[in-house]
Structure formats: C-alpha cells, structure tokens
Amino acid sequence: MRPGDFFYDLPPELIAQEPVEPRDSSRLLSVERNGTGISTGLRDLAFLDLPSLLRPDDLLVVNDTRVIPARVFGVKSTGGRVEVLLLARQSKTSWEALVRSAKRPRVGMVVEVDTEAGGDASFLVTENLGDGVFTVELRSRAPADEVIEEVGTMPLPPYIKRPEPRARDKRWYQTLFSHEDKAGSSAAPTAGLHFSRAIMDKLEKMGVEKTCVTLDVGLGTFQPIRADDVADHKMHRERYHIPEESADKINRALDQGRRVVAVGTTVTRVLEHCGGSGHVEAGSGWTELFILPGFQFKIVGALLTNFHLPESTLLMLVSAFGGKDNMLAAYEHAVSRKYRFFSYGDAMFIGDMSEEDHD
C-alpha cells in the first residue's frame, strides 16, 4: 500500500479554524462498518444524536489525558528564534521534543526562555534522536510544570492558521474527560472534544457505561508518512496507561458480549495494543502500534472519531476498521455535504447497524 491509496481531495475552506459552540453542536456522520465494499449506510446527523447510535449496554472508553501548553518559543545565544514542541516527558525536567530553528539544532544548544516564575529559564538540547526529535532538559529555579504553564502556548496543529492560539483555546482544546494529574499530551484526543456534560448525563441515564484509559498524544499520532510503502513507516512511541478498574470493565463487557465503543483513534490504539489475547491487560508502557487495513480488531466494536488528514496514519486506522473503500466513500460524502474537518471539525461514528436501524 502507498500513501496515495488514502488520498482524498479536501477544499481548504472545510478545515475548521474555530470550534463550534456549544461543543456538542457539531455534526455527526454515521457510517455502517463494512470491511469488504462500499456501504450505502451513511446518515447525516448531529452530535446530539449520538445516543441513538449507542446501545444501553455499550461501554464507552475515553482518553483522559490532558493537553499541556507544549509549544514554547525562546532564543539562542545568537538571538535566533527557536520553537520547542514538547512531545513525551522523560523525567521531571526532560522531554522528547521537536526543536525548530533557522539553522539545524545541535546537541549542546541552549534555548533561553524569559519567565517570571523561574527567572531566566532555558532548555539544553542533550541528545539527537533523529527525524528532528531531540531530548531537551529544562533548567530553571522554579518547578518545571510552573515554567511550562507560564511560557507555553497550546499546541494547535499547523492547519489552524492563526498567528497565536486564543485564550479560549486553553478551554476548547481540552476534552471533558481530561484530568489535571494526567497532563502530558502535545495534542488533544479530538474525538472527545464534542462531549458535553449534558450529553454524558443522557448516556448515563440510558445505561451506557464509561471508563478511561490514557494515551499521551505525541508524534506517533500526527507524524506524516514519508515512506513509499506505508508498511515501512515506523510509528513514534507514545506513553499509555490502563488502570485495573478500566481493564476489569472492558474485559467484563467483552465477556458479556457487550460492545466496546472507542472514543477516538488514541483509545483504539491503546485497547488493541493491550488486547492481543482478546482481553486487555492493565498497566503502563509505550505503544508504537500502526494499524493498517488487514488488521484484526479484537477489542473495539465501534469507533467515534473526527475526520483525518489525507494519507495520514489515522485515516489508515479508520480504513482498517471500517473498510478502505467504505471510508473513502464516506469522506467524499462528507466533503460534498461540507462537513468541517480535522481537530475542531465534525465527528464520524463507525459501527454495525442494528436490525432496528435497518428497518
């Protein structure tokens, strides 16, 4: 398979630049899961219709990671501007990070950051990990988290064309499920951005159960494919955690024949990484799982997701789940109906239709 096998034409004006308000007022495209051919099971809905697509005994699995203000700007000793995008924390003061400057970054480079919390703070580039990724060490008198919170900005993706994030992005680029003690993502698990407290209350009254896993979103989720053959692409590792309580809920649902509904591709990767035996194992670690068409899903029974970039690993994942031709047909439909795309865009639900739905 080649990246071009997952290409679709997207008019730039369909790339969402702002979130809708309220957040549960986005649109929702329902797609019948089909691994073999093009499906006619497309329905244009509102996200508020999500309860009609769920079953009372479904288990909803969400990602409770929290986005940190991971984009930091500083200067070199020569005065040149440097951008540091924190990707994965290695210790209290060190991260894997993308480092961008006019001249190629090098080990030993110091990036000065002016902060009231820590006086003159700086990042020291300590190791070159390849592909523009480095290990950086934050040196400051104040705790690292305080410094990052003060000087960092929300890491909105580059297709959101603004000079700087806005104040409300700090609220809108977090999901309802994010926890302060799970801060570690450099991008939002965007399928969760659509949920409001009102819609969760409705799902709870239906009997839909919810549980949480954590995947700190980093380079593995948004790194573009550069290989001619997609099978040669290597995913960058991302940290995950599945609590014992969550694993118990997921495995109980599987044993009872209930559907596990993944809210987002990040949740899907965690569950399938840890579910090779047909049940998930609790614990923490790193995943480099790359899901392509032909992958056998053992845990996830339905998927709620946003619309993804052409030729991206995330589009390949949803193509593996819903069928490549089926997904490309759904994307063509979404373009024709002017859905809003990417992080602040609309949502898609991919699942098997019930007999009632067919009626």
pLDDT at 359: 43
Q: Are 314 and 308 in contact (CB under 8 A)?
A: yes
Of the given ranges (108-112, 219-223, 232-236), which has the lowest mean pLDDT?
219-223
Residue 167: helix, strand or coil by DSSP? coil
pLDDT at 293: 95
pLDDT at 36 exceeding the cut of 90: no
Of the given ranges (16-30, 112-126, 188-202, 292-306), which has the lowest mean pLDDT?
112-126
**DSSP string covering 3-52:** GGGG-----GGGB-SS--SSGGGSEEEEEE--SSS----EEEEEGGGHHH
Starting from the edge strand earliest in sequence, which strands make up the sheet with 209-215, in order?
A: 42-46, 27-32, 347-351, 302-306, 260-263, 59-63, 209-215, 238-242, 283-287
pLDDT at 319: 96
pLDDT at 35 exceeding the cut of 70: no
Q: What span, in angstroms and rounded, lies between the C-alpha atoms of 209 and 260?
A: 10
Q: Is the pTM of this model over 0.85?
A: yes
Determine the length of the chain.
359
**Which tokens sit at 297?**
């899903």
In the block, tokens 């063509």 appear at 332
pLDDT at 21 exceeding the cut of 90: yes
What's the pLDDT tens digit per position in 60-86? 999 999 999 999 999 998 889 999 999
| Phi/psi at 18 (5° precision) | -135, 150
pLDDT at 182 exceeding the cut of 80: yes
What's the pLDDT tens digit per position in 236-292? 889 999 999 999 999 999 999 999 999 999 999 999 999 999 999 999 999 999 999
Q: Are 45 and 158 in contact (CB under 8 A)?
A: no
What's the pLDDT tens digit per position in 296-345? 999 999 999 999 999 999 999 999 999 999 999 999 999 999 999 999 99
Span 33-45, average pLDDT: 72
pLDDT at 118 exceeding the cut of 90: no
pLDDT at 114: 82
For the stretch 175-195, what's the b/e string if a residue is b when 16 or more beta carbons lie within 10 angstroms of its beta carbon?
A: bbbbeeebbbbbbbbbbbbbb
Q: What is the CA radius of gyration of the chain?
A: 21
Q: What span, in angstroms and rounded, lies between the C-alpha atoms of 66 and 184?
A: 6
Span 196-210, average pLDDT: 97
Q: Are 299 and 260 in contact (CB under 8 A)?
A: yes
Half-sphere exposure of 10 (CA within 13 A, CB side): 21
Q: Does 331 or 220 have the greater pLDDT score? A: 331
pLDDT at 164: 79
pLDDT at 163: 76
Mean pLDDT over each residue of the chain, to the nearest integer: 93
Can you list the domains of the chain with their CATH numbers?
3-67+174-358 (3.40.1780.10), 71-152 (2.40.10.240)
Q: What span, in angstroms and rounded, lies between the C-alpha atoms of 79 and 65?
A: 35
What's the pLDDT tens digit per position in 146-156? 999 999 999 99
Q: Are 333 and 41 in contact (CB under 8 A)?
A: no
**Which tokens sit at 172?**
């809108």
Q: Is 212 exposed, middle or buried (0-12, 13-18, 19+ CB in 10 A)?
A: buried
pLDDT at 33 exceeding the cut of 80: yes
**Amino acid, single-letter form, for residue 134:** F
**Amino acid, single-letter form, for residue 177:** F
Half-sphere exposure of 274 (CA within 13 A, CB side): 26
